[in-house]
Structure 1
Amino acid sequence: MKTIKIKDIDVFKLLNHGKKRTESIANSALKNVIVPFPGFDSTNFNENMWSESKSQKYGNSYILYIHTLRVCAELMNHYEKTEEIEYFNKSEEIILSWIDYSKKEDVHKMVWYDHTTANRTQVIIQYLYLAQQLERDINYDMFDELLHKHGDVMVDDNIYNHNNHGLMMDRSLMILGNILNDDLYKEKGKSRAVNTFWYSFSPQGIHLENSPQYHNMVVRMYTDIEKYLNHRDDSLGVTVKEYLKLAKKYPSYISRPDKRLANIGDSGSELQRVPKRYKNIYDITAGITIIQHAKPVPFFLTFICGYSSRVHKHKDDLSITLNYNNEDFFVDPGKYSYTRNKTRKYITSREAHSGYYMTEFDYTIKNENRFTRKISLENYYENDTFTIVKGYNNDYDGSSAKLTRHVIQFKNQPLFILVDNLETDRKHDLKLTQKFNLASNVTVQNDDIKKLTVNDTTLNLKQFNEISAFEIIEGDKEKPVAVNTSGFAKVEETKQLKFENATNKMNAFLTAVYDEISINNLNLKLKNSILEVQFNEKEFHIYI
């Protein structure tokens, strides 16, 4: 009979023990009530559980977490915390039940999905390690065959993608290679992980999956892989390690003044355990600009335009978010879930963001934008007085028109300007939309100058061009429209400001957002690509 020797350094736990979360999920499992992921609906542990998808609400996410055996990771962690054997016994019972199911011919397609296979490998290894410590009677032939099945799936380049799912497989392959003494698994996992690193990060160390939350997750994964390799006198290499140092600084820049992550794209707004740093960021490869200052009043603005990967990408190009005086004003709608339903479709659409877009044309997110740069940031400049950044979208389906947006922010002043331009050779007017997606607690005073208030902070929003139409869109969960993510698969209603113009002229919208306590007598004029800005008895001329 074969044996599988597992050392403690090979136990790469899928989860850390979270007191309330782990205890709750583990205790429910003892009662045969399975919570596959925190906050998800529960299901009953029986032979039908392995086919339970709840796809209408969760898409593939529910069945994915069922087949990662995530609940077993929670149970084993709680066993190690409490030393109460019933938690380990239940995890063993569920794992053996899954093995029986996996031998069927008509298993669900998510059983051998990349993410599922990689994470389940970690759970099975943790189980075998603890079973050995407990001197359990283990069918090593069965588990050897099972782990090789996992390894053969993960080593297959035909299902490999250079993203976080691919990295999950590489991590598990390296561990599996050491456990099973398989050099192919070890070398394949390591070499692909290094290649994926160079594919996945910008030269400034920003992860390219369009999500600060996934940036953090992938950086943690690479950090853990490096530690694991170091224990075995190996490494991802000096260059990768130095870039990881750079990548670890990004959360301090992309966090808002309250130290919560900017929930751009498929991100939440988790509190960051790093000091908040105020430094402007401009990264063409990642498609993000951050303009920020701490004094006299905290100011944090993001501008999204361009991308190098379709993964987790929303149609948020030429969109902004704004946090001022520690209050959110313009927000990204968040991730909602990965379910392909009408709410997810809306959340990822251009209509859900604080952007500038063609009303009657849409665009398609394409992997080749990494090379074509039909949607991209283009120019960045700053001096002692202001910062200016430009982005463009020249990739609308069925239209050759090019939309550009300049964002101009006056340093240490509560004032920024949006210059939304159009480049077209068409003689007929094109319909254009400028939209502001508000945080749910923002109130709107609908005068010529829109007054936006959160608690005791008010900002003015003023248009300096004639516009064709304006409306305040009220949130509606059923349509859905004007909704922001409030939890996984949950939304809350908000408001949007929607400005429309029909024009073929260069400048479609000329907009200022400012705090009138500090900014007085503001006036803007755009003449022949020269923007004249007047406020506080000063005048500035900016070339656009």
Structure 2
Amino acid sequence: MEFTAVSRLEPAALVVEVTVPEGDETTRYAYYLLEKARGVLKKQFYLKANTYTFPLSDPGTYAVRVFVRHWPDGPDGAYVTTLKETDWVLFRPAEGSHTALHSRFERWGLPAPKPYFWAQEAESRARDIMDGRLWVFRSIEPMPYRLETLDFNVKWSKFPNTFQLYLQALTPVQVLANAYERTGERAFLDYARRFIQSWVQYSSDPSKSRNNPYVYGDHAAALRVENLLYFCGVCSKAGMLSDALHGDLSGLLEEHGSWLNDDAHYTRRHNHGIMQDQALLHLGVVLERKDWVEHAKARLLLQEQWAFNSELVHTENSPGYADMVVELFRDIGIFLSRNGDPMGEKLQDDMARAREFGLWARKPNGIVAQVGDTGNLPGQLYGAAEKMRRHTPEEHRIYPQSGYYFYRSNRGDAPQQDTWKLLKAGYVQTTHKHADDCSFLLYSKGHEIFVDCGMYGYANDAFRAYFLSAKAHNTVVVDDRSYSCSARHTDRVGMQGYRFHTDYDHIRVFNRAYRGVRFQRDFFSADDLTILMDTLKGMWNHTYSQLFHLGEEMEVVLSTDREVVVRVADSGYQVRLRQYGDPVRLEVIHGDTAVPGYGLISRRTNHLDAITTLKFDLSGRGGVFFTAITIEDGDGLVRLGDSKAPSGGLRFDPRTHTFTIGELTIPCGQALTEPKEKER
């Protein structure tokens, strides 16, 4: 295929432009930077863009080798590649220029900011942003706009605060810079520069910005610094970081560094403060402000002490945020190590140990447990194979101070088929806290059976209130109400004791946050058998509701007040719930996404789906639920470790409160090991 390729020098860059008269949308271009004495210096493999920019820092004689690939017989045929080289040009860096800045970015080892859109979406979302559809977060619909008239105080979507957060963080700038890296189209960076200028004009006008808490909020300011640094690095790599642009960005970054360094703006004991320190560290290194670096390091050590307890479990009540904070500290450790700071190795070692909790909190399908404000992806059944693998031969782990118990069967050839359980009770701070004490989750045979109903988002509405409440968790609620999770009530919920027997585990948790009511759950775990003894004692008459929220793929095939059978998708297994305690009344509730309440699940921000909730009601001053849950194969057998027993052989002795099945005996009223006092 015939084409022409012309290169031209710009300040600190060599730009090549290719003209292909017979090119079409399938034509692709690759570019090699050549230096006459040193040969091939850099390679950029095939892109859609017919122009590309190589930053230059060293004097020399340069050219570009261009490869044009096309498919003459259509996309199903063979491709043909043609190559040419541009004329040689002599480059001498100007005195005092910023030509070496890209190499300095690489030397500092600045990480790319966390992306808020999937990689495959980056280019299309960036084009939307330039075409008048403003994306700031993947799960919030884009807003129609014109950059020239954009109101940065705008309230948009059902989640206006979330929209504001990511708008003020300049997430669109990140998306545009990422699209440039994928395509080489300079128009993305030009538009990002205009977007930044528009924000600077807005933020510099107190009459417009002074009443917006997100302009210089802890979270938004930290994210904005990372996005600005990323943009600066991409522009440097593209040879577009002129002296004027560098001066403008440096001044803006200096302003942000001074703000972040001021403790009056700092958020202690919170992941937002960690983000502030990370941003300040990056600025301190880039702008050569050692005082900022040292101040950020000192604050980070205090944040680490608060963020993790003595069990190295993150204290913000959400495994998803725990993963995020572990990665934050780990990334900070890597950055410090790259820049020769010994504190980096300490942080990396600490996070390697803290990561253990996150591995237990990941279900066998490779997806982190949806607890607290942790979100999942709607419709996603499995994560990456690496995340599904068994990380330890152990089958159980307990964190008594943190209030978590985990079980994973570790049996069979397919890890995603393992049985996994999580029991939760207790907290030491309220960040991302839901009323989920004494609740549990169950996963088995490749599917979620009993689920946490999710987080929905941070809007202050009836849906968010429901998902925060005890009603959205597999626990017992009193009079169809939730309870307070304030910092004053941390001693009213928690783990009371545990004991690991040879063939089953026994964990006791409690909740005394309901006024005048004492709730104790004894949780017995024996592989594919789970037994609950829920003991309620009240000062007055109440209705106590034992709740089970079924995963999206579960189907109720039998339901009576004493027994429920649930088909586990297409696995060939079923789950059977049997009630042996005081008389109860069952209500099977199918949710309505238009009405906040039972029978709903939210897998991420702005997502709702209908599920089924099983609600067993018991009335009186007190009472006891004795509930047996068996996972049964097609022959009605229940796996109990290395043996199996017929589900129909399960027996309960009401005098001794003892369950028997096969050779297994579980007496429900037994002494337990008491955990130590709960730490902060």
Q: 1:50 corresponds to which residue? A: 152
- CA drift of 1:3 comes to 10
The letter for the 1-side match of 2:529 is: L
Kindly provide the amino acid, as one letter, of the partner of residue 115 in structure 1: H
Which residue, out of 221, 226, 233, partners 1:129?
Answer: 233
- Taking the aligned partners of 1:260 and 1:500, their CA distance within structure 2 comes to 32
Match of 2:286 among 174, 179, 196: 179
Aligned amino acid, residue 306 of structure 2: Y
Q: 1:114 to 1:526 in 2, by over 3 A?
A: farther
Distance in 1, matches of 2:169 and 2:478, equals: 42
Q: Does 1:303 align with 2:423?
A: yes
User: Match of 2:308?
Assistant: 201
C-alpha contact (below 8 Å) 2:474/2:548 kept by paired residues: yes
- Whether contact under 8 Å (1:54, 1:62) holds in the other structure is yes
> Is the counterpart of residue 224 in structure 1 residue 224 in structure 2?
no
Amino acid at match of 1:29: I
Structure 2: which amino acid aligns with 1:73? Q
Q: Tell me the SS of whatever aligns to 1:363.
A: coil
Query: 1:492 corresponds to which letter in structure 2?
Result: D
- What letter corresponds to residue 291 of structure 1 in structure 2? Y
2:610 paired with 1:508:
no
More deviation, 204-213/114-123: 204-213
Distance 1:302 1:173 in 2: 37
Tell me if structure 2 keeps the 8 A contact 1:67–1:111.
Answer: yes
1:382-413 Cα shifts (integer Å, max 9, x gaps): 121110111111222xx242211111012x4x
Contact persistence 1:15–1:74 (CA under 8 A): no
For residue 265 of structure 1, what is the aligned residue in structure 2?
372
Q: Deviations over 1:422-451 (max 9, x none)?
A: 345x3x433321111111222212133110
Where does residue 138 of structure 1 map in the other structure?
A: 244
Whether 1:355 aligns to 2:456 is no
> Matches of 1:354 and 1:141 in 2, distance apart?
56
Task: Kindly name which structure, 1 or 2, has the bigger radius of gyration based on alpha carbons.
Answer: 2
Counterpart residue identity of residue 405, structure 2: T
Contact 1:357 1:432 in 2 (8 A): yes
Q: Is 1:72 aligned to 2:173, yes or no?
A: yes
Task: Tell me, in whole angstroms, the C-alpha distance in 2 between the residues paired with 1:82 and 1:361.
Answer: 54
Deviating more after overlay: 212-221 vs 247-256: 247-256
Is the counterpart of residue 115 in structure 1 residue 227 in structure 2? no
What is the match of residue 112 of structure 2? 13
Equivalent residue for 2:534? Answer: 420
Is 2:262 the partner of 1:156? yes
1:452 Cα offset (Å)? 1.0
* In the alignment, structure 1 residue 384 sits paired with structure 2 residue 496: no
The correspondence for 1:364, drawn from 468, 484, 507, is 484
Q: Does 1:431 align with 2:557?
A: no
Alignment CA distance shift 1:345-1:212 (3 Å): same
Matched AA of 2:512: N
Matched residue SS, 1:94: helix
What is the deviation of 1:305?
A: 0.7
Q: Pick from 396, 405, 409 the counterpart of residue 289 of structure 1.
A: 405
Report the CA distance shift for 1:373/1:299 in structure 2 as closer, same or farther (over 3 A).
same
2:133 corresponding residue in structure 1: 33
Match of 1:446 among 544, 559, 562: 559
Is the 2:332–2:344 Cα contact (8 Å) retained in structure 1?
no
CA RMSD of the aligned region, Å?
A: 2.4
Deviates more, 1:193-202 or 1:45-54: 45-54
In structure 2, relative to structure 1, the CA distance for the partners of 1:462 and 1:468 (3 Å cut) is closer
Whether the aligned pair in 1 keeps the contact of 2:420 and 2:444 (CA below 8 Å) is yes
Q: What is the aligned residue count?
A: 531
Please state how far the C-alpha of 1:95 moved relative to its aligned partner.
Answer: 0.8
Match of 1:520 among 625, 648, 658: 648
- Amino-acid identity (%): 22
**CA 542–393 in structure 1, closer or farther in 2 if over 3 Å, else same:** closer
CA distance, structure 2, for counterparts of residue 537 and residue 227 of structure 1: 52
Q: In the superposition, relative to structure 1, how do residues 3 and 512 fare at CA in structure 2: closer, same or farther (>3 Å)?
A: farther
Deviation at 1:490, TM superposition (A): 1.3
Shift of 1:140: 5.5
Following the alignment from structure 1 to structure 2, what is the Cα–Cα distance between the partners of residues 26 and 509? Answer: 55
Distance 1:19 1:140, change over 3 A: closer
Query: In the alignment, is the contact (CA less than 8 A) between 2:308 and 2:314 conserved in 1?
Result: yes
Runs of 5+ unmatched residues, structure 1? none
**How far off its partner does 1:104 sit?**
1.5
Cross-structure match for 1:104: 205
Task: Look up the SS of the partner of 2:452 in the other structure.
Answer: coil
Alignment check: 8 A CA contact 2:470 2:483 kept? no
Q: Could you tell me how far apart the structure 2 residues matched to 1:367 and 1:185 are?
A: 33
Instruction: Give the match's secondary structure for 2:657.
Output: strand
Classify the secondary structure of the residue corresponding to 1:511.
Answer: strand
| Residue 510 of structure 1, CA deviation | 1.0
- Distance in 2 of aligned mates of 1:45 and 1:246: 48
Task: Give the equivalent residue in structure 2 for 1:147.
Answer: 253
Q: C-alpha distance in 1, partners of 2:199/2:408?
A: 50
Q: C-alpha distance in 1, partners of 2:544/2:617?
A: 6
CA distance in 1, matches of 2:232, 2:344: 31
**Greater percentage in strand:** 2
SS state of the match for residue 515, structure 1? strand
- The question of 1:483 aligning with 2:600 is answered yes
Give ranges in structure 2 of 5+ residues lacking alignment: 1-95, 378-382, 638-646, 671-680
Is the CA contact (8 Å cut-off) linking 1:210 and 1:286 kept in structure 2?
no
- AA aligned to 1:306 is G
**Residues 21, 38 of structure 1: 8 Å contact kept:** no
Contact 1:10 1:179 in 2 (8 A): no
What is the distance in 2 between the residues matched to 1:487 and 1:361? 24
Give yes or no for contact 1:354–1:436 (8 Å, CA) kept in 2. yes
TM-score normalised by L of structure 2: 0.73
Aligned to 1:60: 161
Please say which of residues 132-141 and 433-442 is displaced more in the overlay.
Answer: 132-141
